Amino acid sequence: MLKFLLEKEFKQIFRNPFIPRVILFMPVMILLIMPWAANQEIKNIQLSVIDNDHSSYSERLINKVIASGYFILKDVSGSNDEAMKSIESGEADIILEIRPEFEKELIKNGITEVMISANAVNGTKAGLGSSYLVAILNDFSADITSECGLNAGRKITSAINVVPHNKYNVYMDYKVFMIPALVVMLLTLLGGFLPALNIVGEKESGTIEQINVTPVNRLIFILGKLIPYWVIGFVVLTVCFILAALVYRLLPVGNLLIVYLYASIYILVVSGLGLVISNYSDTMQQAMFVMFFFILILVLLSGLFTPINSMPEWAQLITKINPLSYFIQVMRSVYLKGSGMMELLPQLFALCGFAVVFNVWAIVSYRKQN
């Protein structure tokens, strides 16, 4: 009986011209666009400079800031009021004001001051932009101190030599951090939405009544709905792996079979959730709204864009019952750190628990009327 149900489901999927296109083109579009757009690296910060000194040192400082690649010189203002108009109009993000005797104080006293004013409407951009600017100023100060020391005949030696070494993401590329999580989001969207709309679509078309009068029990019926989307999930996952390797040269450090093992469980989790929602929904519109609500919450509280440890304690507690967060941890750990099964056992137990709960719930909530 299960064989005929699976044959029916696959025929329905391939007869629908929309679903095969979504399965192939959605991973392509998400992985080609989202890693570049969903980026928390702050660049192209609009800078307004107030140079009250007009000296060689002030010009050197401005050139150093622009050469960093993070700032774009928007204008050189004549006064603070003029620069503030650029901030208020949104044309500038940060103001760098240089004192009138900037060069003279540096040479004579070895110390001077500058003022940084940031537009903090976007707190992240203001905070990171100011930090970048402070780091550049400190580097400029070190260069000037070194030059002055050499001119005075003193030997400058560094007491501490810091050599940074970044593990797991050597070049600090944000795309490397995002791609494994975007693959999980794709599996959630396709593995959750498609099953959620499946049973509701049969309710609206009336074909569900034909199945209700057959001797097919609820377990076989739910399995017939789960297995096709389980296979589709593996197809989507494989397409994503190929795109990540070809486009971004991103290959998993760990064993790829571990990812497939956890993915097989995770697809059952989101498909089971979709079937539960479809069992309680009477129309396609209702199922779409409910599924969209749950997926929005799951994505925002998964650690996809922001670290879970940075969330408030009440939000961190919610992530404990979010299956998306567990699979994102697995993907990033295997892909970037090369973690093995022993390190990921808590995530395995959690995903297995979610899979059992949602699929048993889907079987029990399916109302088969003879």
Q: How far is the C-alpha of 25 from the C-alpha of 263, rounded, in Å?
A: 20
Query: What pLDDT does residue 154 have?
Result: 47
Cβ atoms of 291 and 277 closer than 8 Å: yes
Task: Give the model's pLDDT for residue 157.
Answer: 45
Give the per-residue pLDDT at 350. Answer: 95
pLDDT at 49: 92
Write out pLDDT tens, residues 141-197: 888 877 766 444 444 444 455 566 778 887 778 888 889 999 999 999 888 888 888
Cα distances (Å, whole numbers) of residue 246 to 25, 43, 182, 239, 243: 16, 26, 16, 11, 5
Among 20, 15, 4, 1, CA closest to 231: 20
Among candidate residues 176, 224, 202, 220, the one with its CA nearest the CA of residue 335: 176
Q: What architecture is domain 45-151?
A: 3-Layer(aba) Sandwich (3.40)
> pLDDT digits over 202-225, tens only?
777 777 777 767 777 878 878 888
Q: Closest by alpha carbon to 229, among 22, 10, 30?
A: 10
- Looking at residue 152, its pLDDT comes to 43
Stretches in the chain below the pLDDT threshold 70: 1, 40, 148-164, 212, 368-370
Read off the tokens for 124. Answer: 């992240």
Q: List CB contacts of 127: < 8 A, sequence separation 6 or more.
A: 118, 120
| Domain limits, the chain | 2-38+170-365, 45-151
Query: Which pLDDT score is estimated for 150?
Result: 45
Instruction: Output the pTM of the full model.
Output: 0.79
Query: In this structure, are residues 40 and 29 in contact, taking their beta carbons and an 8 Å threshold?
Result: no
Q: Judge whether 278 and 196 are in contact, CB under 8 Å.
A: yes
Q: Give the per-residue pLDDT at 370.
A: 41
Instruction: Quickly tell me which residue has 């925002």 as its tokens.
Output: 300
The answer to whether 183 touches 30, Cβ cutoff 8 Å, is no
Q: Provide the pLDDT for residue 159.
A: 46
Q: Which long-range contacts (CB under 8 A, 24 or more apart) does 280-288 make?
A: 280/365, 281/196, 281/200, 282/200, 282/203, 283/200, 283/204, 284/197, 284/200, 284/201, 284/204, 286/200, 287/196, 287/197, 287/200, 288/193, 288/196, 288/197
